[in-house]
Amino acid sequence: MSETLSATTSINETDWLEAVKWNQDGLVAAIAQDYQTDRILMMAWMNRESLALTSEKKEAVYFSRSRQSLWHKGESSGHTQIVHEIRLDCDADVIVLKVEQLGGIACHTGRESCFYRVLTEDSPQKQWQSVDDVIKNPDEIYGKTK
């Protein structure tokens, strides 16, 4: 879509997917945010099909770049994301999903959020420090890993 959307432009049912600026791989960044607390839970990628399915099912469906396939969030962990709202940013190249995170765990590490590390700058050397507790051991969620 070559034209810039104004703040008052409404995307109708048939061309809403066309308004998204997909990258060269046909993907768009998608941020999952808790619909009540606004905490950012995770970032993943979506393709046209996963975004359409997310809108239809009202559950988050992403595109796994490593598996090159659709990924219904929670399909193996049970930690499904119920979608309350889908937003598109001003540049039309980032999606925000306002979600209810079932089980309270969005991260494969067993934490509430994938953003559990903070850059500490008060020591002689900067480092990433984990600040969120593991809610459930990932081995209990996904089975023992090798």
pLDDT at site 145: 55
- For residue 12 the two structure tokens come to 């109708």
> Among residues 2, 13, 12, 28, which one has the least CA distance to residue 88?
28
Distance CA 98, CA 51 (A): 13
- 97: domain CATH number is 3.10.20.810
Q: Is 25 annotated as a binding residue?
A: no
Q: Is 90 annotated as a binding residue?
A: yes
- Decide if pLDDT at 3 tops 50: no
Give residue 142's pLDDT band: very low, low, confident or very high (50, 70, 90). Answer: confident
Query: Model's pTM, two decimal places?
Result: 0.84
Any domain includes 11: no
Sequence letter at residue 117: R
Q: Is 91 annotated as a binding residue?
A: yes
Q: Is 93 annotated as a binding residue?
A: yes
pLDDT in tens, 32-91: 999 999 999 999 999 999 999 999 999 999 999 999 999 999 988 899 999 999 999 999
- Decide if pLDDT at 112 tops 50: yes
- For residue 72 the two structure tokens come to 């219904």
- Decide if pLDDT at 7 tops 70: no
Q: Is 38 annotated as a binding residue?
A: no
Q: Is 114 annotated as a binding residue?
A: yes
Any domain includes 18: no
Q: How many domains does the chain have?
A: 1
